[in-house]
Amino acid sequence: MSAGTPGMAVSLIEQCLNPAGDTELFSDRQWLQALLRFEVGLASAQAAAGLVPASAAAAIARACANLELDSADFIERARRTGAFGIGLVDPIRGMLARHDPDALPYLHWGTTTQDAVDTAHALLTKTALLAVLDELQGLVTALRTLAHTHAATPMMARSLLQPAQLTSFGFKCAQSAAALQRSVDQLRTLAPHALCVQLGGAVGNRAAMAHRAVQVELVLAAELGLWSCGQSWHTQRDAWTRLALEASVCAGSLSKLARDWSLMSQFEVGELAETPRGRTSSAMPHKRNSVHCMQVIAQTQPVPGLAASLLDAMTQAHERAMGEWHAELSSWAPLWRRVHGAAAAMRRAAEGLHVDAARMQSHIDALYEVIFSEACSDALTPIAGREAAQQAIEQLAPQALAQRQPLSALLQQWVEITHGTEQARAAAQALAAATDPQHAVRASAACCRELLRTLDAAVSSSCNLEPHHV
């Protein structure tokens, strides 16, 4: 455990790949605090329901406040018994035995250790989700700014990594912003169904608390800032897993954006560049690597495997899992840390991005109008017919590139030869409009602005992550 980051179970390499590596997520300290919060909240809620004496609840709260849980001792007890919660309950029991023995029968009453661990995990996941959402909202804001600025900035679209048609850089940014905003909205929608108190007791039927279990759960949820689902989810992990899967989908959107920008940042392309940060290579002082995009791709690369592990862990036998739940616990935190790290890196890339619009235009110009082949075909169809126009373009496009002549000029010559001078003059006017970048970019600019209007509405309607009863 690093002296600089007490309680952080994150490796040196993981921290190097996360520009927000000082954000504490799922640390040992947070785990122990969350487990103690569950025990205090449980006793308080049970006292409010008349199930335990108020004096016992107060004693349990004092014991938890004064208890110094030792992570090494917690780990050893869990290893020996196979029950995570015993590492929590036994030390509290010892504290009560020394100071408030009358409260001992009421500690952890009517519950099981998975109730404590799942509820604590929900608390830690809420913290992680808020951190992810904060980074995503910052990224969406930066992408929206880029989209507004470059809604009509022409650039070459690529299909199968080859020149396709004209689009705008703003439209690409708006598309990514929309995808990420959909994940934000979906994560907020799923949170109330996943970030719930777990209060099932030994086999999920709440037998000890009977009809008062509902009241206890509601009070406990309110105290902890979680939701109440009204039932046990010990081995029914659908809502819980669905939240992580949406985070995984978000990681895919982040990785796609980082991949596009890294390709556009290659020297041979040179359309984008991250904020200069000095030398980024130990051997080659001239290099200016796209560090944040690299971090995003590195962080998201293992996410599909982690998501698959969580899906596989759903096959939990009967009323308590025989190892699957424990496997879920080990895959859960790395997934959220990676999504958070990727969102943080992508936000920083977007906020400092340099866009070279002139370079984008130069790539369009270097294609000598062949990028406008579809528009040219449409322009010539009334004159020559679609089949003949397409055949002519197919034959003349390689010639335009080889001879470095505008495709429109070659097409105008072809029309003059095949259809006469009068038709050639009409073709020249139609082809001029078809090969005008500002005309061609209008469709992308319009789509960009429509997406921005949708995003504006989505952002304005976003809600927080606090249950109504809090």
Q: Which residues are catalytic?
A: 281, 320
Nearest by Cα to 1 from 66, 52, 50, 72: 72
| C-alpha distances out from residue 185 to 134, 227, 467, Å | 13, 18, 16
The string of DSSP codes covering 403-415 is: HT--HHHHHHHHH
Distance CA 122, CA 39 (A): 14
Bridge partner residues of 155 (DSSP): 167
- DSSP letter at 283 equals S
Distance CA 269, CA 362 (A): 10
- HEC string of 248-265? HHHHHHHHHHHHHHHHHC
Name the E strands within 271-357: 272-273, 354-355
Q: Do 40 and 60 contact (CB within 8 A), yes or no? A: yes
Nearest by Cα to 171 from 419, 452, 417: 452
Nearest by Cα to 158 from 363, 392, 400: 363
Nearest by Cα to 120 from 199, 183, 184: 199
Distance CA 140, CA 152 (A): 19
Handedness of CA 307, 233, 182, 185 (dihedral sign): negative
Nearest by Cα to 184 from 257, 135, 118: 135
Distance CA 135, CA 129 (A): 10
| C-alpha distances out from residue 54 to 42, 45, 256, Å | 12, 10, 55
3-state helix, strand, coil in the chain (%, to 5): 65, 5, 30
Distance CA 46, CA 98 (A): 23
The string of DSSP codes covering 230-246 is: SS--SS--HHHHHHHHH
